[in-house]
Amino acid sequence: MNDNDKASDSDSAHRLARMKFRAWHRGTREADYMIGCFFDTRHAQWDEAALAWFERLLEEDDVDIMAWALGTQPVPSAFEGPEMDAMRRLDYVDIPR
């Protein structure tokens, strides 16, 4: 592994850590579970396009993200696709009891 590979791995790890933190610190417990669990369940299989999609999603308001996932508001075209389809299944939410 050369220095460029090490820097790239470090950048990727930092990027994922930042996304995880933002996914789990939304402001409400409901949003934390929905968005945080989605990240935890799916991020390992994401390619660059999916990572970029999730980063853009994190810029949106929690109320909107939750409404899109629950189907109470139409999903904007910028967020339509396989990742939003997966988010709408809600099979990733694991609420500790």
Q: Which residues contact 25 (CB under 8 A, 6 or more apart)?
A: 32
pLDDT of residue 36: 96
Give residue-wise pLDDT tens across range 19-77: 999 999 999 999 999 999 999 999 999 999 999 999 999 999 999 999 999 999 999 99
The torsion of the CA quartet 83, 89, 92, 97, rounded to 10 degrees, works out to 150
> 3-89, which class in CATH?
mainly alpha
Provide the whole-model pTM: 0.86
